[in-house]
Structure 1
Amino acid sequence: MPVAISGLTTDPQSVVAGNVERLAVSALIVAVVLAARYLTRRLKRRDDELSSTRRLLLSTSVAAVTAAGAIALIGVWDRSGALLEAVRSAAIADQLSNVVLAVVLLAIAYAVTDFFGGVIHEVGAESASISDHQQEVILRITQLSVYTAALLVIVGLFTDNVGGLLVGAGFLGIVVGMAARQTLGAVLAGFVLMFSRPFEVGDWVEVGDHEGTVTEISIMSTRLRSFDGEMVTLPNDDVRAGSIVDRSRRNRLRIEIEVGVDYDTDIDRAAEVIESAVADVDDVAEMPEPNAVTKRFADSAVVLGLRYWIRNPSMRKRWRTQTAAMSAMKSALEAEGILIPFPQQTLSARAEGASGPQLDASVEERASVRGGDRGTDADGTTDDGGDGDATDGDASGGSDR
């Protein structure tokens, strides 16, 4: 039944039908935008050989489709004039429209940051003067600026007194800050890490008990990829509070391998042999040259330490060169007839047919020579000096003295 309001006639059924139609069209627009973004990401991941220009075009296309979808949503809901008025006066009466506009603005902000992210990465890929760490810093600052501007506009949609709202937000921020000190500490530590640059994306670092290659430095956390392929996520406040070892900062790393040689070996000659062997290994730096030093006197060997350097160090290069260097050192020492001592142990079996525990003949003989309260009778039998049975000297290998 039509309802008359201020001289106008409104049919509830037509209003409901119109809203349903708008919702259906809005859902279709959102589906198209999401499908375009999904297909673009799959294309980038599957085709790693895409040129920088094509990747930039894809990012631009996705941003354009997202922006077009946002504009279409504004047109479907007849809010274009309201948006302009909101930007000018920051006053809109219809709260539902405000929510729709806020979502649209956030979508536009996301599209803009995604577009700038693609541009930054493509420019960094073509220019060697911009490192991965600098790209991350520029991207985070861009995201913060765009989202801050979008949030200010959204706040203006819901209230005229933006200043008073900001003051209230300040007090609320104090309360939230007290309740979320750890989270805010991680955020602040993230900015400190980005600007102080104790390490960069791609560096091989050791943070506390974790070691790996830095893959991402975000506002909240830092991600490492370990040698085993594990992804380790560390809160930025923990990273900042602990010790950080960066093995990639100087673009070179010294590695030491210890090897023992026999005491009868000419130490200088052994050092020359292993130095020459390691110098021919791939990825070992020519300067500084490999250098062998005497470390210590061990129980059965003189321990030498072979030190060499690698350029552009990484975990894989370290283990690869260390394996090749150890193999080359062993082969070179064997070729020169230089022994690598190792502990040896000789085991003796019990005499067959013995009624009790008996030692090997040579061990028994040494024991009889040492003496003690053991004696040897004139007939060649050995007396244990106790209640034990006598053992025939011929069977035990003992000799009359």
Structure 2
Amino acid sequence: MAHEVVGRIEEIGPELAALAEENEKLGKLSDKTVALLRSAGVIRLLQPKEYGGYEAHPRDFAETVMAVASHDGAAGWVSGVVGVHPWELAQLDSRLAHEVWDEDPDTWIASPYMPNGIADPVEGGYVLSGRWPFSSGSDHCSWDFLGALVGDGKGKPAGPISVLHVVLPRSDYEIIDGTWDVIGLSGTGSKDVVVNGAFVPEYRTIRQELVTEGAAAEAVGLTETLYKLPFSAMFPLGITAAVVGICEGALALHLGQQRERVAVTGVQVRDDPYVLYAAGEAAAEIAASRVQLIDGISRLYDQVEAGRPITIEDRANVRRNQVRCAWRAVSALDDIFTRSGGNAIRHGNPLQRYWRDAHVGLQHMIHVPGTAYHADALAQMGLELPESMRVLI
């Protein structure tokens, strides 16, 4: 049974689609789009019930992100990225959750997790400085998750390397306008953020490896299965779901446009076996991507629910398949886009935006196949993964 939030997205889908072009021109989500997402409860799916969330199965989260992205790729992308942050925030000190959600359970949190900053230890916490690109949805977020290297007290990384995820309120960082000038997913507003010497209390930080290994929940007394899943499965889930959803939306639009299209030869496209063959094959490939992505996170969830440990091979298999889901779906989109006729390339045709958004989605680091496939092969052979490969496995 579909989660109620998915049903709400289907109800407001036409409104989301109608706002997509405006979002692209704005270079961020419009206030109306954000209001629609808030009213539907998209970002609260993985949020603890204690703080006004649904504590939903990650399958429901992925399906919701796909539904949003099928109407507007940028809105789907922000839903997938911002939507996973309540899941991680639940695993930090509860004082932070109260700060973020007590007054407004619809408070959003942005992120770039890349460790582009230095967190120098001081009494009670850290002093953070750095600059981070790709903070999706930042204009509509009141907090930001940032990756940082623990410093040596002098603004340089300490050895051995230790990575923190730190959480800052909007008053402690600056969003740099003009830093999101891109060919696709323009409406995500994934701008740079800058921090200059902000104090971060210890309780607003967490060691990356605790979240990666799925061990953070136990440290704060969380018993729900949802919060025991590894970051390396949960964070990519929303992003890949957005890409798959974009491809689903593009397929539906393609089929609608081809229904009455007449080729230059005078033949109706619906009578062209080559175009229809490509459409059928693409539909199967995109559907396979959806099923495999949901299957991966569901299998991990079931393992945790049954009290069985998640091995490095389990995690590597899910990451391998998650990467493949994105590439398979976009490849299928390429096949139908090239058969959509010359009008598909016009700015007024939303199909070209879906196509651009999908390809930009593949540029995210979690969709780089080389490391994921390499690591998975090593894991299946029972060999040790180099430390550099374990970060997102």
Q: What is the TM-score with the length of structure 2 in the denominator?
A: 0.27
**Structure with more contact order per residue of length (Cα contacts < 8 Å, sep ≥ 6):** 2
